[in-house]
Amino acid sequence: MEELDRVRHAVRLVDVSRVYSVGKAQVVGLRRVNLTVDMGEFVVISGPSGSGKTTLLNIVGGIDFASEGRVLVLDVPIGDYDETFRATFRLTNTGFIFQSYNLISTLTAVENVMFPMQLSGKSSGALREEAMALLKTVGLSDRSSHLPWQLSSGEQQRVAVARAMANDPSIVLADEPTANLDHDSAKIVRELLAELNRRGKTVFVVTHDNDIIGLPGIRHYEMLNGELKVLV
């Protein structure tokens, strides 16, 4: 996308807070978080349970929204737009990998990968071809017609990585992508993320996986009690 050459930052958060109302109580998810991520960076966020990591990722991915502050993704202030725009923007520009995979249980592996491509206007034959190519990159060509329950955890997460690559997004967001995987599957997913970053994608990962935190060239932050602290 040629406009991407002119984009200044992949992500910019300015004094972003998120407060949830639960009954009469207020729960603070994020406290005045400031963060700038350049295009092509590999950002890793770790921190204790409940510190706000998923909240931060969901806000960057447009799944959740800030209570205060400005959120710019690819220089676009996504909070200023309605849900229709945000949904299209999210599908086009960001790929999301969830801790629990979140594959659609009634769709096969290849159909799950095709799912985010629906807005592209291409024929279903063309979409299937693209989705098959993505499944090939994660080593699952021979599992394309399997339903999620017919796949191992590691295979499901690799389908989720392929789905996150649909529409060739410039930003890939991953929430504890290796947390539920065995050693070998975690290694494959880690290498896929590193490869996406080498190919120029901005990668934003929440993780406790020391092998991701140890990857060369990453920028590491820690979240503590809704605040973001730079480590590297």
Ligand X SMILES: Nc1ncnc2c1ncn2[C@@H]1O[C@H](COP(=O)(O)OP(=O)(O)OP(=O)(O)O)[C@@H](O)[C@H]1O
Nearer to ligand X (CB atom), residue 58 or residue 120? 58
Query: How far apart are CB 102 and ligand X at their closest, in Å?
Result: 14
**Residues 29 to 48 in contact with ligand X, rule: CB under 6 A:** 29, 47
Three-state SS string over the chain comes to CHHHHHCCCCEEEEEEEEEEEECCEEEEEEEEEEEEECCCCEEEEECCCCCCHHHHHHHHCCCCCCCEEEEEECCEEHHHCCHHHHHHHHHHHEEEECCCCCCCCCCCHHHHHHHHHHHHCCCHHHHHHHHHHHHHHCCCHHHCCCCHHHCCHHHHHHHHHHHHHCCCCCEEEEECCCCCCCHHHHHHHHHHHHHHHHCCCEEEEECCCHHHHCCCCCEEEEEECCEEEECC
Stretch that binds Mg ion, among 8-16, 50-58, 101-109, 197-205 (CB under 5 A): 50-58
157 binds Mg ion (CB under 5 A): no
Indicate whether 100 belongs to the interface with ligand X (CB under 6 A).
no
Q: Which is nearer to ligand X, 141 or 153 (CB)?
A: 153
Q: How far is the CB of 21 from ligand X (least distance, A)?
A: 8
> Could you tell me the smallest distance in angstroms from the CB atom of residue 54 to Mg ion?
3
- Does the protein bind Mg ion through residue 55 (CB under 5 A)? no
From the list ligand X, Mg ion, none, pick the one residue 46 interacts with, judged by a Cβ distance below 5 to 8 Å according to partner type: none
* 54 scored as a contact of Mg ion (CB under 5 A): yes
If contact means CB under 5 to 8 A according to the sort of partner, which of Mg ion, ligand X, none does residue 52 touch? ligand X
Residue ranges that bind ligand X, judged by CB under 6 A: 20, 22, 27, 29, 47, 49-55
Interface positions with Mg ion (CB under 5 A): 54
